[in-house]
Structure 1
Amino acid sequence: MCVPVMSYSILDPATPDSKRASQCALAVMAKAPRPGRVKTRLSPPLTGEQAAAINVCFLRDTTENIAALGARCSSVGVVSYTPVSDEALFDNLLPRGFALIPQRGDGFGERLMATAEDILACGYGSVCLIDSDSPTVPAVAFEQAVAALQREGDRVVLGPSHDGGYYLIGLKRAHSGLFTDITWSTASVFSETVSAAKTAGIEVVLLPLWYDIDDHETLELLKAELLHGTAPSFTSVSGYDAVHTRDYLYELNRTSGDCP
């Protein structure tokens, strides 16, 4: 039986829509899910195909979490993707109503800044840039981010990660100072970003501490949370029930003979 293909609209910063001004765009930063190109630090213990498959699960869970939020507050889901021209690889992976926007720029900071600029240019009142490696981020964290950005006045919202980075940065204006001179992929990203915001006189709102999955150690943390109900020791907030990721982890354990 043929499965209908669900493709998604592509946002164009050159055609802004004033009707979006009251909305916060929750934009997931994502690579097209090609084996050998995504979650490579999880291989080993996973194969390249398994790493790509779990990447898809992360994306599905994160976007479904965001889609459910849209019914409770004024937010919309977006995926900022790379490489350009691989948008078809997202067909049928995202909830209905999501839009795509291609990434531009060379380094990670450039791509974050460009995505913020492009989404705000589309007419949205605010934007949250969200990593695609944290499928159990509590829904309340996204709700808090949207609520903070809907208040009067300028501010930056940050969701700190346990490794010293952040899983979310929310903005009403694309402040370039938050993305330049940051030592990316280090344990100082969060602290450097907070310092940059304070230097620029921008209010900082913090979300609950969470974690992203990018190596064997954090994969085990994820397994403990989803398969055994053991919450991370550094938080008292309940994580999102990432059913796609949980089911895939269970299947991996079953086929390896290590059932929970």
Structure 2
Amino acid sequence: MSKENLLLIFTRNPELGKCKTRLAASVGNEKALEIYKFLLHHTAEITQNLKAKKYVYYSEDIWEKDIWNNETYDKKLQEGIDLGLRMENAFKAGFKKGYKKIIVIGSDMYDLTQADLENAFNRLDSSDFVVGPAEDGGYYLLGMKTLEHSVFTDKAWGTPTVLRDTLKNLEPKKINLLETRNDVDVLEDIKEHPAFQTLLKK
């Protein structure tokens, strides 16, 4: 099973002033970086034992020594002028390597577990695509068995229309929708969340 499955993890290099900028507008750059590192650790925890090949795609530079264990994760650099092209290039590379089921996630989801990812791979057995809708109108997970170019183009990335436009691209295909989850972009996303209270009170 693991030889067929590939998980792509898209991540920003955790550098001061360069990640979670919308959150930083409310809590400041240092706290935003701390929260992002907390989310990265969570993402590593829920993916390290997943029975799938794992590629971590960095936004700026590949870091050899960080939370992503070099024996568990293959490290790569995102390539493309926007998020869509970067994701498409990562999917293309995975299919070229022979993987049958490929899923991409970001690294800013606290409400995601290893079981959720296993479930997403399993659902690709009976559908062409699997999509995890985010509460903000985007998606937190996208999986496919064949490359679908249209989902990566003509999108206003980071806006509430992304999920709607993506599902429109996939209309004739068999899509499996996962539960709607909340990714972390702004203070409102974590203000009431118990897991973030200690970080916010520091």
| Shorter-chain TM-score above 0.5 | yes
Q: How far does residue 119 in structure 1 lie from its aligned partner after superposition? A: 2.1
Which structure 2 residue ranges, 5 or more long, are not aligned?
none
Residues 33, 56 of structure 1: 8 Å contact kept = yes
Q: How far does residue 46 in structure 1 lie from its aligned partner after superposition? A: 2.3
Q: How far does residue 215 in structure 1 lie from its aligned partner after superposition? A: 0.6
Q: Separation in 2 of the partners of 1:53 and 1:125?
A: 36
Residues 27, 187 of structure 2: 8 Å contact kept = no
Q: Which residue of 2 aligns with 1:128?
A: 103
Q: Separation in 2 of the partners of 1:251 and 1:35?
A: 16
Q: Which residue of 1 aligns with 2:82?
A: 107
Q: Separation in 2 of the partners of 1:213 and 1:87?
A: 23
Q: Separation in 1 of the partners of 2:199 and 2:58?
A: 28
Q: Separation in 2 of the partners of 1:122 and 1:135?
A: 30
The count of corresponding residues between Structure 1 and Structure 2 is: 201
Structure 2 residue matching 1:44: 3-state secondary structure: helix
Q: Separation in 2 of the partners of 1:176 and 1:87?
A: 26
Q: Separation in 1 of the partners of 2:144 and 2:37?
A: 27
**AA in 2 matched with 1:131:** G
Relative to the length of structure 1, the TM-score reads 0.71
Show the 5 A alignment for 1:143-162.
Answer: 143-149=118-124, 151=125, 155-162=128-135
Structure 2 residue matching 1:43: 3-state secondary structure: helix
Query: Can you list the C-alpha shifts for 1:119-148, whole angstroms capped at 9, x where unaligned?
Result: 222332221110111122133321211112
Residues 64, 94 of structure 1: 8 Å contact kept = no
**AA in 1 matched with 2:198:** Y
Q: Separation in 2 of the partners of 1:101 and 1:202?
A: 30
Structure 1 residue matching 2:131: 3-state secondary structure: strand
Q: Which residue of 2 aligns with 1:13?
A: none
Q: Answer yes or no: is 1:87 the counterpart of 2:62.
A: yes
Q: How far does residue 42 in structure 1 lie from its aligned partner after superposition? A: 1.1
Which structure 1 residue ranges, 5 or more long, are not aligned?
1-18, 227-245, 256-260
Identical amino acids, percent of aligned pairs: 26
Q: Separation in 1 of the partners of 2:89 and 2:66?
A: 26
Given the superposition, is the C-alpha separation of residues 225 and 156 from structure 1 closer, same or farther in structure 2, using an over 3 Å criterion?
farther
User: What do you get for the CA RMSD once the two structures are aligned?
Assistant: 2.1
Query: Can you list the C-alpha shifts for 1:171-198, whole angstroms capped at 9, x where unaligned?
Result: 1122101111223222121111111001
Q: Separation in 1 of the partners of 2:54 and 2:33?
A: 22
Show the 5 A alignment for 1:60-209.
Answer: 60-70=41-51, 75-83=52-60, 86-88=61-63, 91-95=65-69, 96-149=71-124, 151=125, 155-198=128-171, 201-209=172-180
Residues 62, 134 of structure 1: 8 Å contact kept = yes
Q: Which residue of 2 aligns with 1:250?
A: 198
Q: Larger radius of gyration, structure 1 or 2?
A: 1
Structure 1 residue matching 2:191: 3-state secondary structure: helix
Residues 151, 169 of structure 2: 8 Å contact kept = yes
Q: Separation in 2 of the partners of 1:54 and 1:35?
A: 11
Q: Answer yes or no: is 1:55 the counterpart of 2:36.
A: yes
Q: How far does residue 252 in structure 1 lie from its aligned partner after superposition? A: 4.2
Query: Can you list the C-alpha shifts for 1:189-237, whole angstroms capped at 9, x where unaligned?
Result: 1111111001xx321111111011101111214xx242xxxxxxxxxxx
**AA in 1 matched with 2:48:** A
Q: How far does residue 47 in structure 1 lie from its aligned partner after superposition? A: 2.4
**AA in 2 matched with 1:108:** L
Residues 35, 199 of structure 2: 8 Å contact kept = no
